[in-house]
Amino acid sequence: MAGAVRSISTIVPRRCLALNRGRGAQRFPRPFVLMAASRLPAAASPSASSTVEETSQIQQDIEFDERTDPREDKLACPICYYPLVKKSDESAPRLECNVCKKEYRNNGTYLDLTVSASSREYTESMPAATELFRSPLVSFLYERGWRQNFIWGGFPGPEKEFEMAKEYLQPAIGGTIVDASCGSGLFSRLFVKSGMFSQVIALDFSENMLRQCSEFVENENVPKENLALVRADISRLPFPSGSIDAIHAGAALHCWPSPASAVAEISRVLRPGGVFVATTFIVDVVPPAVPALRLTRQYFAQFTSNTIYVSETELEDLCSACGLVGFTCARNGFFVMISVTKPS
């Protein structure tokens, strides 16, 4: 592997995405328009009954809006994808779906927005890679030696990776970013400290990783006003469609049980013009067409739930199949950083 790792100075962009540096994150109105019915011209109201219905709907929308915390207005039920609202009659921190009425609790460290949240009897066996990162030991070791080993595969290190990601994330400045599969919050904390985004959502399926993230936030005195810790499934993201400005996934794409399902979800929640930036490994030392490699990848994926990517084209095809465009990447050894956007 050492022969395949080049100096970090050799990291060069491939088909670099043209970024509009002068453009801030787009702001979109809420899905309803607040207008007083009495101010509408007579011609706009075909009947008195329709005016009453419109007024009633407006009042419901206003009440819904007042119950929504600005820090939580990006969160949605993972079952219905409908925005969550605070329980007005409860003192404990919890949110409720206005459609299915399911409640989601904050345990003081993170908000659990998985589909099976609050289930008492039902349990689901998860892939080996997912369970590995849920373990307390791996979660504790992730920033204490585990992540540092990635340098042997060409990863330039968190600080350099962060600087590279910032270039791709320029169109999302001032908006909301989701650090997907955030682990112990290595990049989530950097995003908060940078002040580039109005809201940072640190998202992971591992309870212990989120606990580690919370501890690092406390120890480093990271501001919490614009930071939310959320437990969620990458293939069932708890956000309304078209609501997120940017999604970052550091060294995670190869760990997802179904990369296609995950990237499709990312495409769904990104706003038009939103950006997806991710890093992973590409093992391109053997031509992809070799039959033995195809079998090796198949068995490896079945036993570990990890995906071995063998070319940049494969990653581009994955993103394109999920409706994302403008693929660009930077390489160093087995390390690759990719960037794509949601069509405007």
For the cut 60, the answer to whether the pLDDT of residue 15 exceeds it is no
- Tell me the per-residue pLDDT of 100-152, one tens digit each, with 9 for 90 and over: 999 999 999 999 999 999 888 887 777 777 888 899 999 999 999 999 999 99
For the cut 60, the answer to whether the pLDDT of residue 239 exceeds it is yes
At 30, give phi and psi (nearest 5°): -65, 165
Average pLDDT over residues 323-328: 98
Asked if residue 77 belongs to a domain, the reply is no
- List the Cα angle 3/302/334 in 5-degree steps: 20
Average pLDDT over residues 204-209: 97
Strand order in the sheet with 103-105: 84-86, 94-97, 103-105
Looking at the structure, tell me whether residues 312 and 195 fall in a common domain: yes
Q: How many Å from the N-terminal Cα to the C-terminal Cα in the chain?
A: 40
The DSSP symbol for 7 reads P
State residue 303's pLDDT score.
Answer: 56
Looking at the structure, tell me whether residues 51 and 193 fall in a common domain: no
| 3-state DSSP assignment of residue 301 | helix
Among 26-40, 163-177, 226-240, 325-339, the range scoring the smallest mean pLDDT is: 26-40
Q: Model-level pTM?
A: 0.76
Looking at the structure, tell me whether residues 19 and 54 fall in a common domain: no
- Domain count of the chain? 2
Asked if residue 335 belongs to a domain, the reply is yes
State residue 127's pLDDT score.
Answer: 75
Contact 280, 252 (CB under 8 A): yes
CATH, residue 284:
3.40.50.150
State residue 284's pLDDT score.
Answer: 74
As given in the structure block, the two tokens for residue 328 are: 């660009």
As given in the structure block, the two tokens for residue 40 are: 């509408």
Asked if residue 213 belongs to a domain, the reply is yes
Looking at the structure, tell me whether residues 166 and 313 fall in a common domain: yes
Cα dist from 4 to 144, 163, 207, 281, whole Å: 25, 23, 35, 12
- Tell me the per-residue pLDDT of 253-284, one tens digit each, with 9 for 90 and over: 988 989 999 999 999 999 999 999 999 999 87
Asked if residue 104 belongs to a domain, the reply is no
Asked if residue 265 belongs to a domain, the reply is yes
Nearest to 206 by CA among 138, 123, 266, 263: 138
Contact 182, 214 (CB under 8 A): no
Looking at the structure, tell me whether residues 56 and 145 fall in a common domain: no
Asked if residue 84 belongs to a domain, the reply is no
Looking at the structure, tell me whether residues 176 and 219 fall in a common domain: yes
Which single residue is written with the structure tokens 């920033």?
143
163 vs 130, more confident? 163
Asked if residue 99 belongs to a domain, the reply is no
Looking at the structure, tell me whether residues 9 and 142 fall in a common domain: yes
Looking at the structure, tell me whether residues 194 and 306 fall in a common domain: yes
Cα dist from 196 to 89, 171, 190, 286, whole Å: 35, 11, 10, 40
Looking at the structure, tell me whether residues 317 and 245 fall in a common domain: yes
The domain boundary, picked from 48, 66, 84, lies at 66
Segments forming the whole domain that contains residue 55: 31-66
- Tell me the per-residue pLDDT of 65-90, one tens digit each, with 9 for 90 and over: 444 445 567 899 999 999 999 886 65
One-letter amino acid at 224 equals K
At 343, give phi and psi (nearest 5°): -55, 140
As given in the structure block, the two tokens for residue 239 are: 């956000």
Distance, CA of 276 to CA of 85 (rounded, Å): 27
Distance, CA of 320 to CA of 249 (rounded, Å): 17
Looking at the structure, tell me whether residues 176 and 38 fall in a common domain: no
Which single residue is written with the structure tokens 């609790």?
105
Q: How confident is the model at residue 47 (pLDDT cuts 50, 70, 90)?
A: very low
Number of C-beta neighbours around residue 51 at 10 A = 16
DSSP string, 218-270: HHTT---TTEEEEE-BTTB--S-TT-EEEEEESS-GGG-S-HHHHHHHHHHHE
One-letter amino acid at 175 equals G
Distance, CA of 134 to CA of 207 (rounded, Å): 6
State residue 289's pLDDT score.
Answer: 54
Nearest to 311 by CA among 278, 285, 279, 339: 285
